[in-house]
């Protein structure tokens, strides 16, 4: 009986033994990351500003400001996820401007003159330009 228990333990241990080593460089497959999420929200921000400018109704304008602030915050969140989760040290070495680019883009989406606190369509355009630069680098990194 002791021999059978030893044999069963060996079989059990062999079943639990790691057979294949796996590794990944990100939390999830990289296919889930895409600057398009930030761009879509930034385009929404710009459209809201344009609608705000074209409408004099104070209730509409109040709602527009609230929604624009929420969308601006989503832009920042999407950019932060790319900045902190997708891009890795080799990307920052190859594209030394990347940290500055993300910093500028998130500030353009935030308060203190960014789209969260501004109703200036030019600020929204600047934000979209920064996101386009990030998008270009992102897709270059996906190729290599």
- pLDDT at 38 (0 to 100): 97
Is the separation of the CB atoms in 42 and 97 below 8 Å? no
Query: Is pTM, for the whole model, over 0.95?
Result: no
Question: May I ask the CATH architecture of the domain 33-143?
Answer: Up-down Bundle (1.20)
- pLDDT at 5 (0 to 100): 61
Q: Which of 8-12, 19-23, 86-90 has the lowest mean pLDDT?
A: 19-23
| Domain chopping of the chain, boundaries | 33-143
Token pair for 15: 């079943």
């Amino acid at each position: 009986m002791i021999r059978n228990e030893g044999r069963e333990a060996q079989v059990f241990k062999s079943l639990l033994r790691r057979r294949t080593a796996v590794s990944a460089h990100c939390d999830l497959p990289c296919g889930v990351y895409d600057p398009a999420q930030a761009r879509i929200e930034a385009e929404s921000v710009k459209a809201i500003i344009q609608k705000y400018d074209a409408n004099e109704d104070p209730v509409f304008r109040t709602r527009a400001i609230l929604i624009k602030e929420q969308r601006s915050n989503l832009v920042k969140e999407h950019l932060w996820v790319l900045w902190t989760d997708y891009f890795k040290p080799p990307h920052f070495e190859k594209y030394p401007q990347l940290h500055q680019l993300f910093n500028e883009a998130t500030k353009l989406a935030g308060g203190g003159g960014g789209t969260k606190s501004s109703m200036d369509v030019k600020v929204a355009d600047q934000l979209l330009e920064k996101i386009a630069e990030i998008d270009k680098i992102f897709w270059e990194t996906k190729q290599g």
